[in-house]
Amino acid sequence: MAHLLTIADIKQERKRLENAIEILPFSVHFSEDEKKELHEIFKTLLHKYDTALARSIAVNFELL
């Protein structure tokens, strides 16, 4: 059985990604190019989480 994400799950994961972006510049394990690439990946993921959250809210309003 698949686990369904709740809005709280999405918000929590989004916050975790935001925190990862904040500490990325301080990481000595990645080159500057790798940091730029990771930053773009994180931004893309955050956008997907925002979209999922917005769609979830839209669906909830449609059900009312």
How high is the pLDDT of residue 33?
93
Q: pLDDT tens, 1-48?
A: 456 667 788 788 888 888 888 887 888 888 889 988 988 988 898 888
Domain boundaries, the chain: 7-63
CB 13 within 8 A of CB 53: no
Q: How many residues are present in the chain?
A: 64
The more confidently predicted of residues 24 and 64 is: 24
pTM of the model: 0.62
Q: Distance (Å, rounded) from C-alpha 43 to C-alpha 11?
A: 15
